Amino acid sequence: MEFLQPSTWAEALDMKAAHPETTPIAGGTDVMVELNLDHGRPASIMDLTRIKDLTEWGTDDGLLRIGAGVTYTRLIEELGDRLPGLAMASRTVGSPQIRNRGTVGGNLGTSSPAGDAHPPLLAADAQVEVHSKAGVRRIPVREFFTGPKKNAMLKDELIAAFLVAPAPGPQQFSKVGTRNAMVIAVCSFALELDPAHRRVGTGIGSAGPTPLRAVQAEEFIQGELEWENRRPPSDAAMGRFGELVAAAAKPIDDVRGSAAYRRHALAVMARRCLQWCWT
Amino acid sequence: MKVGESVRRPDAPPKVRGTFVYSSDLRAEGMLWGATVRSPHPHARIRSIDASEARAMPGVHAVLTHEDVPGKKVYGLEIADQPVLAFEFVRYWGEAVAVVAADHPEQARRAAGKVRVDYEVLPPVTRAEDGKVLRHVKIRHGDQSARADVVVKGEYEIGMQDQAPLGPESGLAIPDGEGGVDLHIATQWLHVDQQQLAGILGLPKEKVRLTMAGIGGAFGAREDLSMQAHACLLALKTGRPVKISYSRPESFVGHVHRHPGTLSYEHGANRDGTLVYVRARILLDGGAYASSSTAVIANATCFACGPYRVPNATIDGIVVYSNNPPCGAMRGFGSVQNCYAHEAQMDKLATALGMDPVELRIKNALETGDRAITGQAIDGPVPVAELLRRVRSFPLPLGEEGEGEGRELFLPGGVSNTTHGEGVKRGVGYAAGFKNIGYSEGFDDYSTARVRLFVHHGKPRVEVHTAAAEVGQGVALVQAQVAGSELGVTDVVVLNADTRVGSAGSSSASRQTYITGGAVKAASEAVCRRVLDLAESELHPGSELRIENDSIVDAGGKPMVSLATLLGDAVIEETREFRPRKTHHLDPDTGQSDAHMQFAFAAHRAVVDVDTELGLVKVVELATAQDVGKAINPLAVQGQLEGGAAQGLGLAVMEEIQVKDGVIKNASFTDYLLPTILDMPPVKMDILELGDPNSPYGLKGVGEPPTISSGPAIVAAIRAATGRAIDRVPVRPQDLTL
């Protein structure tokens, strides 16, 4: 196995162009697990931890631009006030040790349907900024996931950052796992309300081949919510919202839970998240 | 260090700091790494094995198959039926077929991948109902056609639990250049490994020497051989030290598991709640090889009714062979599965009778002199009713713990933000359980201890040498405490366990403190007698002498002479074997017999919060009461009560090896979930020391009872919170919602 260790971003992009099959590694919380479980042996690995740019965040035209190498711990501590939904999701990632190493960039790179960061990024309509020697692309996260552990990136591209607006309103994230901490999602749900634009964003995790959005549920509840007087939505509307979220999922039966349970739990989480966001 | 003092483990700081040397950390000059070729099928005929490509790979020193096993090609704790390396057939997914030694572990793994095994795939037997009977234990106690006013029935299913010791199987075999081998190994019973290895290697026992290596837990998983024979075979073949260290996924197929089972019960009682009869059929899936299944099913059957007076019992305990992963010993050993069933039945019966479930249990609780369903009169303290009263008398915890920041951590779902209180209901449940301590059914159980007293740097020192495996339970400290108490010497050194001293028996069945503690006590007493004889012959005292604080003192406690002076250059050494009282075979037709040596009892109360809409469970509190006879090291006893309860909680709400068509689907800690600190609540405990008249210091085995009734109490609490009839563990969210 070849071990590539670029010290600058330009060098990393050169290396990625020269070795398009290389597996980038940052925190290693996905890559090392795959190696340890003997799920394939990459021909080469590129260590991105020497590239300081990746660990920085700032603003870009009103959006937060967060380097792919910013850890979950830093997201929670430094950006929890501006991105409460993503911070809630980050808190459910692994153990403190994992959160000290793991990054949203890595989560996006792996593109697992169970990635905890994905639902809040979907709900917030975030963008993934990918670079190659040929240039820069910003891919809406809603178009990023193309299949199980597959995404819209080209072979010579690396994830530089993701861009997301500071929360325009209440955000929530909820995740079902069969233990009370340090657990992979059986299913998860993220919700964002944007009162100024009367918009609702959703994200579903671990209940389909990719992270999903519940578009019909969003459209339905945007029309139902009384944005002016902030009256609580009716039980019927809440129930319908839950049903539409469940209907948007494409779950399967696996070792973590049944498809039927996942749909059931999504409906419950959707109703609860809406309740928590609205009141 | 005296019996009854709380003593901290000396290996605790190095374990926390990461400096403790586990068996997986062992190294030797010129060491090779072993890797194992495993079956990808649960059942197949082996047509041929072609290792030529693997042998030609860089760094590879040996590839061995069953043809290279010089001695016995099969082994087993009760029945020798498991191949060292598979021949003719593979009978479970992950069975070892060949082993490789190479310079680097990655070379070994790659070469293992190039061993070509031609399999003719056969249909696997994966349902216990279809399996071949390995043992059928029958209990026919009292009136077989007894009738009762109130009858409750139930069928219960128990999933397959893993011992999940944090240290995977590992060890280092070093050839001695003279045809023998030294094996450094984390195991539960050095001498049974030695005996099995000598047979496999075709060597006399003296040429197979074992030394205990740093262990990361056992819980029954290290009773059977795993990599021991493979490492020794490779070392003897290559003439080089060979280390094998399993990965976590490999560990899941590298050791036996707790038996999954289906248990059908019928309880009959009078209107006043007096139990009249129990009829039960217990079916356990033993998997591909026998391991200790025959003993596990005996336990499941003997303790099928729980710690209650049952005058009439008809119990059929059946364990079968299948092509599922082999099952064997795990903490609780057959008494865990049946406790879920008998305790669910007691709650059902209480409901049917309109009685309080604790009162029903107390009414039927076994007492001293009562006969178990095996006909054995239970002697010594039998405080079942007292234990239940004590767990009931602990104050119940308040509502939701804490307020504000961090409060959600204590709700079901924990950090996952699934509820802010919505759907959460509380439930309280009780359970009691019992099991045998030590080996049963006529087994000649004993332990050997060598105790040596001499002067070291001007001070008396005691060295204790046994082969008792320190598996984390604290038997090393127990030995030091016993020798320290008996000999009145402050400097006590417990040597690492190895096969240079006689067998200590297994670190199993909660027996080591009793049996090896007994052996160390006997050897220490013999040393003490000799020292006092020496002192008396030199001092001619008027009164009786004893040893205290490194000196010979008279009856009034007045120092007569220091031990160092008395001993000079003398070395006083005694070796003793200790045997507990005899047990007897179960009658094959009725199961009536004095088959067990000692009985231990515990009770638990569980308080749970259940998110009834999402089916998520938070165990809020566990309370337990257990009679330990005498706490030799109270701190270690507390640890056993907490750790055992955590393992019981695991089976109740999350731990399950999921097997589909004979294949394990979750062989990693990503999907085989163990309780975290947020899942395991604080344990309130009431430790009783009632003193067993038959045992050393009155002690009882401690390690297993906490694992027996903790889970059933949690499930009872979940039933109370949800109103659902839960008949399967672990309880899954979908079982509580759909």
Cα torsion through B214, B219, B225, B230, rounded to 10? -50
Q: Which of residues 98-117 of A touch B (CB under 8 A)?
A: none
Model pLDDT for residues A132-159, shown as the tens digit of each residue: 999 999 999 999 999 999 999 999 999 9
Q: Looking at the domain B447-578, which fold is it?
A: Aldehyde Oxidoreductase; domain 4 (3.30.365)
How does strand B150-158 pair with strand B728-729? parallel
SS3 label, residue B160: strand
Q: Could you tell me which residues come within 8 angstroms of residue A14 by beta carbon, excluding any fewer than 6 positions away?
A: A6, A133
Q: Average pLDDT of A85-105?
A: 97
Nearest residue to B130 (alpha-carbon basis) of B257, B255, B254, B262 = B262
Q: Could you tell me which residues come within 8 angstroms of residue A277 by beta carbon, excluding any fewer than 6 positions away?
A: A169, A170, A171, A172, A191, A192, A193
**HSE, side-chain direction, 13 A CA sphere, residue B315:** 32
Q: Which of residues 156-185 of A touch B (CB under 8 A)?
A: 172-184
The DSSP secondary structure of B30-56, one letter per residue, reads T-EEEEEEE-SSSSEEEEEEE-HHHHT
Nearest residue to B3 (alpha-carbon basis) of B511, B486, B464, B447 = B486
Beta bridge partners of B100: B35, B63
- B679/A180 CB distance under 8 A: yes
Contact B462, B489 (CB under 8 A): yes
Q: What angle do CA A56, A59, A63 make, to 5 degrees?
A: 120
Domain boundaries, chain A: 171-278
SS3 label, residue B191: helix
Domain boundaries, chain B: 12-123+168-215+222-254, 261-440+585-736, 447-578
Pick B658's closest partner by Cβ from A176, A179, A255. A255
Question: How far is it, in rounded angstroms, from Cα B191 to Cα B392?
Answer: 44
Provide, as residue numbers in chain B, all residues whose Cβ is less than 8 Å from the Cβ of A98: none
- What percentage of chain A reaches a pLDDT higher than 90? 95
Give how far the C-alpha of residue A7 lies from the chain's centroid of Cα atoms, to the nearest Å: 27
Contact A80, A91 (CB under 8 A): no
Provide, as residue numbers in chain B, all residues whose Cβ is less than 8 Å from the Cβ of A256: 671
Å between A189 CA and nearest CA of chain B:
10
pLDDT confidence of residue B408: 72
Nearest residue to B323 (alpha-carbon basis) of B263, B253, B264 = B253
Helix and strand numbers, DSSP H then E, in chain A? 11, 13
Query: Is B12-123+168-215+222-254 assigned to CATH 3.40.50.970?
Result: no
Token pair listed for B702:
């401690």
How does strand A150-151 pair with strand A158-164? unpaired
Total length of chain B: 738
Cis peptide bond upstream of B730, omega within 30: yes
Token pair listed for B571:
């070395």
- A256/B671 CB distance under 8 A: yes
- A92/B415 CB distance under 8 A: yes
Å between A42 CA and nearest CA of chain B:
14
Pick B678's closest partner by Cβ from A180, A184, A275. A180
Contact B321, B249 (CB under 8 A): no
Beta bridge partners of B277: B268, B312
SS3 label, residue B581: coil
Å between A8 CA and nearest CA of chain B:
31
Element (DSSP H or E) covering residue A260: helix A259-278
ipTM metric: 0.97
Phi and psi, residue B637, nearest 5°:
-60, -45
Exposure string over B131-165, b if 16+ CB within 10 A, otherwise e? beebbebbbbbeeeeeebebebebebebbbbbbbb
- A184/B670 CB distance under 8 A: yes
Question: How far is it, in rounded angstroms, from Cα B266 to Cα B270?
Answer: 14
Q: Where are the beta strands (DSSP E) in B206-311?
A: 208-212, 242-245, 261-269, 275-285
pTM, rounded to two decimals? 0.97
- What percentage of chain A reaches a pLDDT higher than 70? 100
Give how far the C-alpha of residue B287 lies from the chain's centroid of Cα atoms, to the nearest Å: 19
Best mutation target, A179, A261, A266, A275, to test chain B (most B CBs within 10 A):
A179
Which residues of chain B are modeled with pLDDT < 70? 399-407
Give how far the C-alpha of residue B288 lies from the chain's centroid of Cα atoms, to the nearest Å: 21
Sign of CA dihedral B98, B102, B105, B111: negative
Residues in chain B whose Cβ is within 8 Å of chain A: 109, 247-249, 409, 412-420, 422-423, 613-616, 618, 653-654, 658, 665-666, 668, 670-671, 673, 675-679, 732-734, 737-738
Burial of B620 (0-12, 13-18, 19+ CB in 10 A): buried
Same fold, B261-440+585-736 and B447-578: yes
- B733/A261 CB distance under 8 A: yes
Q: Residue written as tokens 């026919």?
A: B140
SS3 label, residue A63: strand
Q: A265 and chain B: CB distance < 8 Å anywhere?
A: yes
Provide, as residue numbers in chain A, all residues whose Cβ is less than 8 Å from the Cβ of B422: 272, 275
pLDDT confidence of residue B402: 44
pLDDT confidence of residue B400: 52
DSSP secondary structure letter of residue B554 = -
Q: Average pLDDT of A183-195?
A: 97
Amino acid at the residue A184: I
pLDDT confidence of residue B713: 98
Å between A269 CA and nearest CA of chain B:
7
Beta bridge partners of B598: B437
Element (DSSP H or E) covering residue A203: strand A199-205
Q: Where are the beta strands (DSSP E) in B415-518?
A: 424-437, 447-456, 459-465, 491-494
Provide, as residue numbers in chain A, all residues whose Cβ is less than 8 Å from the Cβ of B677: 181
Q: Which CATH number fits domain B261-440+585-736: 3.30.365.10, 3.55.40.20, 3.40.50.2000, 3.40.50.720?
A: 3.30.365.10
Mean pLDDT of chain A: 97
Contact B662, B43 (CB under 8 A): yes
Q: Looking at the domain A171-278, which fold is it?
A: Enolase-like; domain 1 (3.30.390)
Pick A176's closest partner by Cβ from B616, B653, B675. B616
Token pair listed for B250:
């490999």
Q: Residue written as tokens 């005292």?
A: B541
Å between B82 CA and nearest CA of chain A:
27
pLDDT confidence of residue B407: 66
Question: How far is it, in rounded angstroms, from Cα B143 to Cα B268?
Answer: 13
Å between A113 CA and nearest CA of chain B:
15
Model pLDDT for residues A227-251, shown as the tens digit of each residue: 999 899 999 999 999 999 999 999 9
Token pair listed for B238:
């290559």
- A181/B415 CB distance under 8 A: yes
Question: How far is it, in rounded angstroms, from Cα A258 to Cα B735?
Answer: 11
Element (DSSP H or E) covering residue B384: helix B384-393
pLDDT confidence of residue A37: 85
- A265/B737 CB distance under 8 A: yes
Helix and strand numbers, DSSP H then E, in chain B? 15, 31
CA distances from B375 to B588, B692, B700 (A): 14, 20, 21
Pick A265's closest partner by Cβ from B417, B614, B675. B614
